[in-house]
Amino acid sequence: MLKQENTGALKDIRVIELGQLIAGPFCGQLLGDMGAEVIKVEPPGQGDPMRDWGLGEKKLWWEIIGRNKKSVSANLREADGQDIVRRLVAHADILIENFKPGTMEKWGLGPDVLQAINPRLIIVRVSGYGQTGPYASRAGYGGIGEAMGGWRHIVGDPDRPPSRMGVSIGDSLAATYACMGALAALHAREDSGKGQIVDSALYESVLQVMESMVPEYMVSGIERKRSGSVLSGIAPSNVYPCSDGEYLIGANQDGVFARLCNAMGRPELATDDRYANHMARGRHQRELDVLIADWTRTLSIADVEAAMIEHSVPAGKIYRAMEMLDDPHFAAREALVEVDSPRWGSFKMQNSFPLLSGTPSGIRSLAPAEIGQDNDTIYGELLGMDADELARLRESGAI
């Protein structure tokens, strides 16, 4: 159910979203979920390509990434469309763009122009390689950032080429860091009174989550390799076969491993020199996984889960959408929220996270069904355009 009231922490913040596809719009989604008014500027007649992305005949990705947003249309390649953006930023706190570096400047919408209009404006720029450096002008998508940031090299089985996740993690990470930067810039503006530029690069956002990969190589000469379903040296932590499926167990800390041994009826393993501590278990990772798998495959998933809960061992089922929809914990925390769409009927999507106790976020409105459906409201009421000007802009193709 849609929230009837905006209780989000950013309810007094206005965002202009110029980006398309995933990285820019996901940043806008996050800010919108937290209460910001997000005005999405789309190319007239075309709209954001995300409107047509997703699996199956009914394209539902847009319903998530476009939620909590208003849609206006403007042709940014034309002078009138560029002027509309300049007029919008005079009333905005944040502008998001994820075009190829230099594009905004080519359109007369660079930071120098926009911040001259509104010195308090925070400009969030998401790109493949960042706004500076020798690669800045290169085109970059999420997968390229994942490769350059080190992610792709370590994902997959060691005897096969690098794999990828089933979601656009590079774009989502860059968008998340862009959102974090915007929030930090809002806080800094409280003291300085001025906006700033947030430069979020896809490859750097991936690099940020690569743990100690670089210093391990520099200090110890260790190059991380693809290791399939396990992390090398972290044991036991794997997916194990049961009589009716697969189950994930993570018991790589000494005390937790001892509890797992008790659950298996093999308490002696916890004091065996081969498995008694973290380093020893890492050296004997494969044989330890075989021991655990020999036990789990004799039991159902429900039986293994009951034993893990009883002995307080971190473990869990491998969830798909159908398990999420049927899970009482998802329901209790409203991790999935039901919406009613005029086009698609009733369906559920992920809620807004993290949960805030004092200023709860949430889904207040569905993704705009039509490109530019809020033109009259935004351009007429916010920018003060009269009917004649709106008609002229429509006739010229600017909106």
pLDDT at position 323 over 90 = yes
Q: C-alpha distances in angstroms, 149 versus 6, 152, 224, 281?
A: 37, 8, 13, 30
Among 38, 18, 198, 19, residue whose Cα is nearest residue 123: 198
Structure tokens at 161: 């080429």
pLDDT at position 1 over 90 = no
Q: What is the DSSP letter of 90?
A: T
Q: Which residues contact 167 (CB under 8 A, 6 or more apart)?
A: none
Round to the nearest angstrom and report the end-to-end CA distance of the chain: 32
Task: Judge if the upstream peptide bond of residue 134 is cis by omega within 30 degrees of 0.
Answer: no
Catalytic residue chosen out of the listed positions 33, 48, 93, 171: 171
CA max distance for the chain: 84
Q: Give the mean model confidence (pLDDT) for residues 302-321.
A: 98
CB 76 within 8 Å of CB 107: yes
Give me the pLDDT at residue 381, please: 96
Give me the pLDDT at residue 312, please: 98
Residue ranges and CATH numbers for the domains of the chain are 14-209+332-396 (3.40.50.10540), 237-318 (3.30.1540.10)
Determine whether 171 is an active site residue.
yes
Q: Give the mean model confidence (pLDDT) for residues 390-399.
A: 96
Instruction: List pLDDT tens digits, range 226-284.
Output: 999 898 899 999 999 999 999 999 999 999 999 999 999 999 999 999 999 999 999 99
Q: Which residues contact 291 (CB under 8 A, 6 or more apart)?
A: 266, 269
What is the chain's mean pLDDT, rounded?
A: 97
Instruction: List pLDDT tens digits, range 151-179.
Output: 999 999 999 999 999 999 999 999 999 99
Q: Give the mean model confidence (pLDDT) for residues 282-309.
A: 97
Q: Give the mean model confidence (pLDDT) for residues 358-372.
A: 97
Helix (H, G, I), strand (E, B) or coil at 332: helix
